[in-house]
Amino acid sequence: RDTAVALVFYYFAVDCFFAQGLRPGVPAESPAMVFATPTKVVSEAGSTVEYLGTNRVPDLQRLFQTSDGVPIHLKRGVPDKLLYRTTMALTIGGALYCLVALYFAAQPNKK
């Protein structure tokens, strides 16, 4: 399968050369491209083959179940704190901006 993919890219590359009318001053042959180590057939690899990553849930369970009294929305530490502070800043700032905008909107039209 990887050979097929490599071949497709090779033909595409060569096609581009000639479609654009380029004189092949550089050899048209591309080096053998390797996209991945040879894939195992699932039946050979056994039941422990990974599909899209490993299971990190047990680690996360340990992290979120530590008894440190930190509320759930801050329990991951710095990224949570940053996002919370940004949201709260927008909340308070936005509420004040809204009140000011409504105050001006409520003024009668001077005509």
Partner 1 sequence: MAHQAHAYHMVDPSPWPLTGAIAALLMTSGLAVWFHFHSTTLMILGTILLLLTMFQWWRDVVREGTFQGHHTPPVQKGLRYGMILFITSEVFFFLGFFWAFYHSSLAPTPELGGCWPPTGITTLDPFEVPLLNTAVLLASGVTVTWAHHSIMEGERKQAIQSLALTIALGFYFTFLQAMEYYEAPFTIADGVYGSTFFVATGFHGLHVIIGSMFLAVCLLRQIHFHFTSEHHFGFEAAAWYWHFVDVVWLFLYISIYWWGS
- The residues of the shown chain that bind partner 1, judged by CB under 8 A, are 51-53, 55-57, 60-61, 63-65, 67, 71-73, 75, 83-84, 86-88, 90-91, 94-95, 97-98, 101-102, 105
Least distance (Å) from partner 1 to the CB of residue 31? 33
Choice between 31 and 50, CB closer to partner 1: 50
Residue 33 C-beta: closest distance to partner 1, Å: 27
Tell me the three state secondary structure of residue 75: coil
Amino acid (1-letter code) at residue 55? N
Within a 10 A sphere around the Cβ of 13, how many other Cβ atoms?
A: 13
CA distances from 68 to 12, 75, 80 (A): 58, 9, 15
